[in-house]
């Protein structure tokens, strides 16, 4: 067994973090202002002071499998108050980004997702799948015709689900594989750093802890404790709930379609349509606000991973709404084109979810649940 006290800095890891937006990590001189300033850090073994020294020493083992990096909501209070400009908020963001790539397999996908040069490839993959599969199965009809604009006449719902259901399953599988390791790692790390007194993870207790954490997440309670970036809670909540709404809509649609054999588009007076419209608008506004915030925050680093996700989320919302609007306006060609783009973006969202920044929705939930379970105060 390796000597647990032996420290072996990984210079390569430091350089990678610096590339992921943590270029300031070496500036820390361990005054611990960050840990004091952080409104959501626990009182015992608080972050991010210890994460900062571990980062500047290149201690990958202590960071990637550290649940605390996920407890951070990137409020930015630490970054604002840091006397050395070490930007702990950004450094933790960079570590999370590294951790996402680390837990999501195959790693090559993660590399592609985080590489700006590969963006065309990311967009080309679904495009090719849709066209090839659509042409083989005949489910893609470039000449839908008809009086009414019905998107399924152009891009069959069968084709949508033929692609999207396996994609969703793939995302779940990737997560499942990563999570097993993730949970094990954060538990080991908590034991090593004395952050828990629980020897083993008890499944029942863990699920109960999840039950206690979900209301916190739904209410964005941690977010509202933030000082510096409290405004971010609003846009995040809009995006969060719009995704929830759209998830419900999609499920209803799925059930209605396959069980009751009723096709869309729904009437505007349909309550499901209301939910869909409200969610869609919220998604566009919420993600637009996020983009605006990022552009305004010149003191915080915005890495490619941040922009990619915002681009996809905003794109999904906007293309969705435009598809509907152009349909109502009767612009068939335009509507079908936008719908195709919409599906490409949705594919990006699903397929690369475990590799993108959006993976935080899983890791952060698990880490928060673990913290709750471990009795971290």
Partner 1 sequence: MDKKYGVYICTGCGIGDSLDIKALCDVADEEGYPVKDHPFLCGKEGLEEIKKDIGEGTNSLVIAACSRRVNFDVFSFEGCIADRVNLREQVVWSHPRSEFPALTEEEKEDEENFDRVQMMAEDYLKMGMIRVEKVSLPEPYKLDNFTRNILVIGGGITGISAAIDAAKAGYEVTIVEKESHIGGYAAKVRKQLPMEDPYEDLIPPVIHAKIDELEKYSNITVKTETVVARIAGEPGDFIVTLKKPGEKIEFDVPYPLPDEMKLDEKGDELDTEKQHELYMQYNEGKLDILQFDPNGEKFGAVILAAGWQPYAPEDGEFAHLGFGEFPDVVTNDQFEEIAAKGKITRPSDGKAVNSVAFIQSPDKGDDDKDFSYAGAVTSLVSLKQAKYVCEDYDDAKAYIFYQHMRTPGLSENFYKSLQQEPGIFLTKGNVVSVSKNGDGLVVEADDTLLGEKIKVKADMVVLATGMVPVTASDPVVNLAYRQGPGFRDIGLFDGYCDSNFICFPYETQRTGIYAAGAVRRSMTMEESVEDAAGAALKAIQCLESVNRGVAVHPRSGDMTFPDFFFQRCTQCKRCTEECPFGALDDDEKGTPKPNPARCRRCGTCMGACPERIIGFADYNIDSIGSMVKAVGVPSEDDYDEPPFRILGLVCENDAYPALDIAGLNKLSYSADVRLIPVRCLGSVNVIWIKDALSQGMDGVFLLGCKHGDDYQCHFVKGSELAEIRVKKIGDALASLALEEERVAQFQVSIDDYDKIPEIINGFVEEVEALGPNPFKGF
- Residues engaged in binding partner 1 (CB under 8 A): 3, 5-9, 11, 14-15, 18, 26-27, 29-30, 50, 53-54, 56-59, 84, 193
Rounded to the nearest whole angstrom, what is the least distance from the CB of residue 131 to partner 1 in the complex? Answer: 46
Rounded to the nearest whole angstrom, what is the least distance from the CB of residue 58 to partner 1 in the complex? Answer: 8
Of 15 and 180, the one with the shorter C-beta distance to partner 1 is 15
Q: How far is CA 250 from CA 19, 76, 130, 256, 266, in A?
A: 38, 35, 19, 10, 12
Of 55 and 163, the one with the shorter C-beta distance to partner 1 is 55
Encode burial over 165-196: b for 16+ CB neighbours within 10 A, e otherwise.
eebeeebeebbeebeeebbebbbebbeeeebb
Q: What is the dihedral of CA 243, 119, 364, 20, to 10 degrees?
A: -150
* DSSP 8-state assignment for residue 104: S
Rounded to the nearest whole angstrom, what is the least distance from the CB of residue 193 to partner 1 in the complex? Answer: 8
| Span between the terminal Cα atoms of the chain, in Å | 31
Strand partners for 140: 155
Rounded to the nearest whole angstrom, what is the least distance from the CB of residue 370 to partner 1 in the complex? Answer: 21
Of 36 and 207, the one with the shorter C-beta distance to partner 1 is 36
Rounded to the nearest whole angstrom, what is the least distance from the CB of residue 2 to partner 1 in the complex? Answer: 11
Rounded to the nearest whole angstrom, what is the least distance from the CB of residue 8 to partner 1 in the complex? Answer: 7
Biggest CA-to-CA distance, the chain: 74
What is the rounded CA–CA span in Å between residue 134 and residue 141? 8
Of 58 and 89, the one with the shorter C-beta distance to partner 1 is 58
Of 26 and 73, the one with the shorter C-beta distance to partner 1 is 26
Of 53 and 179, the one with the shorter C-beta distance to partner 1 is 53
Q: Which two tokens stand for residue 8?
A: 């072996």
């Amino acid at each position: 067994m390796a000597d647990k006290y032996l420290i072996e800095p990984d210079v390569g890891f430091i350089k990678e973090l610096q590339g992921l937006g943590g270029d300031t990590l070496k500036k820390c001189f361990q005054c611990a202002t960050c840990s004091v300033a952080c409104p959501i850090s626990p009182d015992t073994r608080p972050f991010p002071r210890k994460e900062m020294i571990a980062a500047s020493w290149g201690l990958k083992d202590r960071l990637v499998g550290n649940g605390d990096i996920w407890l951070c909501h990137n409020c930015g209070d630490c970054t604002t108050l840091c006397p050395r400009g070490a930007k702990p908020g950004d450094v933790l963001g960079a570590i999370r980004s590294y951790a996402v790539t680390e837990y999501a397999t195959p790693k090559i996908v993660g590399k592609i997702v985080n590489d700006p040069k590969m963006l065309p490839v990311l967009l080309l993959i679904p495009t090719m799948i849709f066209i090839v599969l659509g042409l083989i199965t005949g489910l893609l009809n470039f000449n839908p015709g008809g009086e009414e604009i019905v998107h399924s006449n152009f891009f069959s719902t069968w084709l949508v689900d033929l692609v999207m259901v396996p994609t969703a399953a793939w995302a779940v599988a990737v997560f499942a594989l990563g999570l097993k390791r993730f949970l094990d790692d954060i538990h080991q790390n908590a034991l090593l750093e004395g952050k828990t007194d629980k020897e083993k993870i008890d499944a029942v207790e863990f699920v109960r802890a999840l039950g206690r954490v979900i209301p916190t997440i739904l209410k964005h309670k941690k977010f509202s404790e933030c000082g510096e970036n409290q405004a971010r809670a609003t846009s995040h909540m809009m995006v969060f709930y719009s995704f929830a709404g759209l998830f419900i809509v999609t499920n209803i649609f799925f059930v209605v379609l396959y069980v009751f054999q009723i096709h869309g588009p729904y009437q505007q007076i349909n309550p499901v349509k209301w939910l869909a419209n409200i969610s869609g608008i919220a998604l566009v506004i919420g993600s637009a606000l996020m983009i605006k915030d990022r552009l305004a925050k010149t003191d915080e680093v915005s890495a490619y991973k941040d922009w990619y996700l915002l681009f996809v989320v905003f794109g999904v919302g906007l293309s969705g709404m435009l598809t509907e609007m152009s349909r109502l306006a009767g612009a068939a060609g335009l509507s079908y084109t936008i719908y195709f783009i919409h599906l490409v973006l949705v594919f990006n969202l699903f397929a690369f979810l475990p590799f993108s920044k959006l993976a935080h929705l899983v890791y952060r939930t698990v880490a928060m649940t673990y913290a709750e379970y471990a009795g971290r105060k």
